[in-house]
């Protein structure tokens, strides 16, 4: 028989055997086995079961580029400059792919609780390794892969709240992203109305979608939702309303080399209307400096400020425009108890001026007496951010049957995060309540 035909048959058989190895690995890991027969996809899916999806994505793209580059290399005449050029590119892509594959195999070893030296076998002898891992019953993953399609999460309430005239009404159906050809739900079914003058705590475990929710609320990242502030649709009027929505990020994002005063002046130039006179702007800056206790350091460089002062300056930058809706993402991170409490007292006084203040904090219990309401966001079984509760602090204690916010958080956190894993129970319970309220 011709040598080429033998080589071809050998290639085919080895590819088939490799696919079979992958087939059984995927079956063991709770994925569809047929993924193992699609060369590029199977590597990506292997990364997904190893919980390294991002690496898998990059590996997939690198492999695709490697394939294209290799074909171009073959197309050009031997020894031509273009062939040499594409040889370099192909080698660079191959090396990059190799390192990404090593990362994926290392993660796979962790998942299957096998020594890391198996990574060498995966790289050098993928066929034999895939067959061993696929067919040997001793090779079992620590846990099955998570598949959103096969998991039943809490039911969607389909509620829609009536818009309140003085305050914020949110009717959010969903917030999705297309992630590597897949539609992912980040948030779903959030309906609430916050009256003006309320200071609201936003509670939720990591990955529950707190920041995504706040971004959707301010129209910065639009969701499939109606967000109405004092009778005006935020999404439809974003350009004119964005100055009325203050968002203080978690990090103190300011330039260290500028002075406190100049930082506030520049912030006011951006955020205050153009027709305001210089003296009016200056008056507002002085008010804000005074309110946040920054007058004594107004000529200092930002880099010279203490943690608490930096945080207050970061808040002052947003507060200079006197926004109706004021949102703060962990304003107390890195602050000690007394400084943090004083900061929250300032926020309480802002709410008392008829504003809505929404705050994320990971240490809510030390300042809970300053809040009116709490929003509890939780990840459902499908890992989508859902509303588990919105109401007064006392009501929250009764609803969850817990005495503190930290206990509430523990009850909704997933079991693998050290929580009680009851999020779906509370989401459904609250869904029924909100459906009743909406009529």
Partner 1 sequence: MDTTEIKKFKYMGRIGQTFIYFLKLCRLFVFRNDWKVLPMAAVIAGMVSMVVGKGLFLTMEGTLQGAFALTCVCIWNGFFNSIQVICRERPIIKREHRAGLHMTSYVCAHLIFQMILSAIQVGITIVVCRLSGMHFPEKGLMTEGTEGFIVELFITLFLITYASDILALMISAIVRNTTAAMTVMPFMLIVQLVFAGYFSIPNMLREVTDLMISKWGTQGICALGNYNDLPAVLIWNRMKAAGNVDLGGVMTLSELMNIVEENGFRDRVQYELGKASQNANYVSTPENLMACWAHLLVFAAVFAFITVVFMEFIDRDRR
* Listed ranges 12-20, 112-120, 149-157, 260-268: which one lies at the site for partner 1 (CB under 8 A): 260-268
User: Does residue 241 belong to the site contacting partner 1 (CB under 8 A)?
Assistant: yes
Q: What is the closest distance, in whole angstroms, from the C-beta atom of residue 84 to partner 1 in the complex? A: 9
| Least distance in angstroms from the C-beta of 104 to partner 1 | 21
Determine if 226 is a binding residue for partner 1 (CB under 8 A): no
CB of 21 to partner 1, least distance (A): 34
Segment contacting partner 1 by CB under 8 A, of 2-10, 149-157, 237-245, 286-294: 237-245
Q: Does residue 322 touch partner 1 according to CB under 8 A?
A: yes
Main-chain dihedrals φ then ψ at residue 299, nearest 5 degrees = -100, 5
* Residues making up the chain, counted from first to last: 439
**Distance in Å, CB of 299 to partner 1, minimum:** 12
Q: Which parts of 50-185 fold into alpha helices (H)?
A: 53-75, 81-111, 118-124, 126-135
CA distances from 29 to 46, 106, 169 (A): 9, 16, 43
CB of 246 to partner 1, least distance (A): 9
Coil, helix or strand at residue 390: strand
| Tokens coding 434 | 């909100």
Q: Binding residue for partner 1 (CB under 8 A) from 15, 71, 237, 306? A: 237
Cβ nearer to partner 1, comparing 92 with 128: 92
Q: What is the spatial distance between Cα 377 and Cα 77, in angstroms, rounded to a whole number?
A: 61
User: Could you tell me whether strands 356-360 and 373-379 are parallel, antiparallel, or unpaired per DSSP bridges?
Assistant: unpaired
299 binds partner 1 (CB under 8 A): no
- Residue of 92, 163, 164, 301 interacting with partner 1 (CB under 8 A): 301
Taking CB under 8 A as the rule, does residue 95 contact partner 1? no
| Binding-site string for partner 1 from residue 261 to residue 290, where x marks contact by CB under 8 A and - marks none | -x---xx-xxxxxxx---------------
Tell me if 354 contacts partner 1 by CB under 8 A.
yes
We find the least distance from the C-beta atom of residue 70 to partner 1, in angstroms, to be 21
CA distance 363 to 123: 46
**Surface-to-core class of residue 364, CB atoms within 10 Å of its CB (0-12 exposed, 13-18 middle, 19+ buried):** buried
Q: How far apart are CA 426 and CA 378, in angstroms?
A: 9
- Locate all alpha helices (DSSP H) within 272-358, ordered by sequence: 278-291, 307-319, 337-352
Query: Binding to partner 1 (CB under 8 A): which residues in 194-213?
Result: 196, 211
User: In this structure, is the dihedral angle defined by the CA atoms of residues 259, 260, 262 and 267, taken in order, positive or negative?
Assistant: positive
**Residues interacting with partner 1, by CB under 8 A?**
81-82, 165-166, 196, 211, 220-221, 229-232, 237, 240-244, 247, 249, 251, 253-258, 262, 266-267, 269-275, 301, 318, 321-324, 354
């Amino acid at each position: 028989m011709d040598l080429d035909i033998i080589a071809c048959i050998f290639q085919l058989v080895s590819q088939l055997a490799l696919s079979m190895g992958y087939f059984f690995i995927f079956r063991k890991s709770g994925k569809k086995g047929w993924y193992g027969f699609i060369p590029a996809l199977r590597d990506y899916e292997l990364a997904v079961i190893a919980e390294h999806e991002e690496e898998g994505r990059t590996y997939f793209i690198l492999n695709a580029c490697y394939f294209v580059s290799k074909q171009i290399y073959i197309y050009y005449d031997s020894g031509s400059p273009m062939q040499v050029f594409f040889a370099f590119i192909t080698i660079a892509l191959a090396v990059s792919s190799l390192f990404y594959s090593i990362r994926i195999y290392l993660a796979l070893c962790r998942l299957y609780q096998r020594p890391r030296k198996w990574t060498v076998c995966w790289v050098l002898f993928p066929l034999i390794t895939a067959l061993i891992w696929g067919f040997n019953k001793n090779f079992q993953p620590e846990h099955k892969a998570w598949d959103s399609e096969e998991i039943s999460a809490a039911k969607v309430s389909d509620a829609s709240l009536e818009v309140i005239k003085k305050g914020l009404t949110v009717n959010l159906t969903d917030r999705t992203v297309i992630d590597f050809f897949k539609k992912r739900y980040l948030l779903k079914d959030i309906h609430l109305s916050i009256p003006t003058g309320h200071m609201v705590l936003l509670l939720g475990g990591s990955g529950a979608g707190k920041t995504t929710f706040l971004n959707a609320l301010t129209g910065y990242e639009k969701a499939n939702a109606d967000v109405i502030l004092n009778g005006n649709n935020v999404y439809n009027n974003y350009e004119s309303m964005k100055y009325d929505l203050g968002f203080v990020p978690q990090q103190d994002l300011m330039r260290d080399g500028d002075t406190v005063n100049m930082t506030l002046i520049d912030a006011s130039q951006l955020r205050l209307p153009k027709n305001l006179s210089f003296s009016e702007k200056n008056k507002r800056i002085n008010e804000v400096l005074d309110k946040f206790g920054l007058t004594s350091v107004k000529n200092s460089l930002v880099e010279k400020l203490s943690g608490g002062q930096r945080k207050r300056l970061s808040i002052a930058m947003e507060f200079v425009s006197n926004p109706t809706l004021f949102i703060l993402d962990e304003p107390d991170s890195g602050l000690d108890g007394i400084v943090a409490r004083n900061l929250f007292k300032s926020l309480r006084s802002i709410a008392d001026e008829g504003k809505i203040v929404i705050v994320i904090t990971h240490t809510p219990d030390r300042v809970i007496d300053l809040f009116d309401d709490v929003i509890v966001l939780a990840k459902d079984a499908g890992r989508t951010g859902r509303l588990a509760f919105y109401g007064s602090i006392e009501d929250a204690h009764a609803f969850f049957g817990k005495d503190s916010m930290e206990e509430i958080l523990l009850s909704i956190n997933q079991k693998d995060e050290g929580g009680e894993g009851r999020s779906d129970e509370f989401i459904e319970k609250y869904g029924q309540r909100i459906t009743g309220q909406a009529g």
